[in-house]
Amino acid sequence: MRLSVLLPLPLGPLSYLAPEGCARAPAPGLRVAVPFRKGVRVGVVVGVEDAAEGDFALRHAIGYLDEEPFLDEAGIAFLGRAAAHYFTPAGQLLADLVPFLEPPLRHEVRLVDGAARPDLTGLTLWRDAAELDPALLDELREGGVLEERVREQKPTRKTLVPLREPTEKLTPKQQAALETLRALGEAESQTALAAAAGVGPGVVRALVEKGYAGWREVELELAPPAPAGPALEPLPVPEPPPRINGGRWAERLQLAAGLASEGETLVLFPERYVLERAYDRWPPPALPFHGGQSPELRRALWREKPPVVLGSYQALLMPRRWRRIVVMDEGSDSYKLASGSRAHAVHLAELRAELLGAELYYLSLTPAVEVVEKPGLLVRPPRTRVLPIDLRRERGWPLSGRAVELLAQVPEKGRQALVLVARRGYSGRLFCKSCDWQPICPNCDLPLRFHKPGRRGRLVCHQCGHSEPAPEVCPACGGEVFGYSGPGVQWVAEEIQRRLPELPVYQYSAERKDDLTPLQRGEPGAVVGTTALLRTPAPPELALILLPYAEGFLPASDFRAPERYHRLLWQLADLHPTRSPLIALQTFEPDHPAVEALIEGDVTGVPETELVLRRMLGYPPAVRMVVLEFSHRQEATARAAAMDAAEFLQKRLGDYLETAPFAPLLGPAPAPVPRIRGRYVFHLILRAPEPDLLRDWLSDLPPPKGARLRLDPDPVGFVGLLED
């Protein structure tokens, strides 16, 4: 028999012969250990055929790891379909979705009976394969004289257990300690037992030395923590439409629980923090499943069959016949996988549902543009109180007089404020006031951000991490006066503290996470931070949310920016579980549609108009769009590779160029950030309303000369992957 084995590597399936001397029939979906290069890797059987004449001698697989298939047939089919859609090998997708696939292995070998290897007499008994030279193992395997067995090493822990009955030989204290151990069954450590029995540590040590108690390796029983909060009441909807919007967070959870109440439901979450908060309130029984859990725990939970799983994208391949998949907050950027296949988890969920024949639901405060046309149900959105502060009229930067007044009221009333800034550090830009010089990252062609932890401060690249001390005088003209623009967390926090010295001010961003427990306890204060703040629980007395520069959240080069801005603003309205804090927006665009929608309490209008615009301009979802990224250390090499590809595609597209509703080929052009980490990047964009066309064009594309080509098959914002 010949196996097609998918390894969690960016490769297609590899062929192996079925394990030698293994009675088990191979079945698709089983995990199998295989020799790969000089070692052993674990993959999944995705196909079984009769052995045929091969171009080369196949190696034998070593053995299966599972009783029950790790993946089901629908999951295997899904991997193939998704791989084709994302122009990536199926193994890449397997690696992305199941990074915990490979367990630690117990791998033993010995020579088969009668093997004529007098030089290896030590190998007639089972030996741990790790003790032997991989080259020797390979040679023996080739020669067909090696017997192997392999299994998943279960996670264990050491525990102190009683080994014998107490006898008269023990002192009274030793007897008491042993009785305690027998009553408890086991103890974590000698000290723990001593404490439990009320004796000194020496007594327990004596028990162990005399052999009355001893250490035993026991299997680690793995379980997620119990939900931490009171369970919410499910809110079932009769004949629910595929899209449900509006409501408060807890209300949407109730609706999700209602959708899941018939069981066999996967509830998909964009990020771990949201998932954990939902799990804490979810009516049992349900299990969480996400990348924050240990690989051992995820492997253990993989086999569980709870009626409901609250999962991240890593739960998508679980061997379950879901009847429903509920996608929470489908518009979240976090669904986009930032590396590897760069797939989009919402799309993967759609594909999985399609192949399973499962019902799919989208449940969010504001719908994504991609789903806004589906039949929907609107629950009343949270009440909003919005105060736009027009920066074209108000004085004061980065804090207007109005903003300071609002902030001043916060401690007076014993309330709390949240100040949201798009940048971390002190300022987005630093420049010389006399000659306009500004520092650029030596690796990235991006302005260096100014951070101000000390007197002088540092210049930091938010792309590659490059950091240098800020200059004291301008290196270009010797000027000594610097200007700043693009206020960051530090600047705003400093300014608030300067204007309101009595107000306790906290900072919260990736680089500085102040302890917010005083706020959580209800003490007055203000916290200034980036969107990292949205992943902490809202302070209980939250009365004001201030955005000193709201457009900071609206990157101009991204066609999804208005949708994301709208989603962010609504997220603010839903931050506090019950209150409606005042949302004060300092902005040059107080009549931006997203701001108006927030004022009017409209959650679907902006996505609806965005959809119309995208159709007019030929952006997703009206077209499928793929970005080709050519990069190289030498600018000319990267550009030439992009030009070659453009030329090829120009010819390949032929007549389609004339008939296409939108220009199907854009570029090449330098990427929005022309150089990252020392590599020049050029972009070429392909788009067509018919996704199959793109696949044809790209399948013919010759590999680039010199430069590296990476595809972004689902560009969620061209600068969206840049951190800021």
Bind-site residues for Zn(2+): 432, 435, 441, 444, 461, 464, 474, 477
Q: What is the DSSP string of 365-409?
A: SS--TTTTTS-EEEEPPPP-EEEEEETTTS--SSS-HHHHHHHHH
The residue to which tokens 């209602």 are assigned = 258
Q: How far is the CB of 289 from DNA (least distance, A)?
A: 24
> Exposed/middle/buried for 698, CB within 10 Å: 0-12, 13-18, 19+?
middle
The residue to which tokens 């960051």 are assigned = 488
- Give the relative orientation of helices 635-653 and 691-700 as an angle to the nearest 10 degrees: 120
Q: What is the DSSP letter of 315?
A: G
- The CA–CA distances, whole Å, from 493 to 424, 489, 548 equal 11, 6, 11
Q: What is the DSSP letter of 440?
A: B
Residue closer to DNA by CB (options 134, 601) is: 134
Residue closer to DNA by CB (options 204, 640) is: 640
Q: Which residues contact 720 (CB under 8 A, 6 or more apart)?
A: 333, 336, 555, 558, 560
Cβ-contact 566, 550 below 8 angstroms: no
- The CA–CA distances, whole Å, from 340 to 88, 343, 712 equal 9, 8, 10
| β-strands 458-460, 449-451 pairing | antiparallel
Residues in contact with DNA by CB under 7 A are: 9-11, 14-16, 34-38, 56, 58-59, 632-633, 705-706
Neighbours of 378 (CB within 10 A): 15
Residue closer to DNA by CB (options 541, 644) is: 644
User: Sign of dihedral through CA atoms 344, 349, 350, 356?
Assistant: positive
Cβ-contact 107, 33 below 8 angstroms: yes
The token duo for 223 is 């379980």
Position 270: which residue type? P
- Collapsed DSSP state (helix, strand, coil) of residue 304: coil
Which has the closest alpha carbon to 71: 117, 9, 8, 119?
8
User: Sign of dihedral through CA atoms 316, 314, 69, 288?
Assistant: negative
Which has the closest alpha carbon to 448: 465, 432, 434?
465
Cβ-contact 24, 32 below 8 angstroms: no
Residue closer to DNA by CB (options 97, 432) is: 97
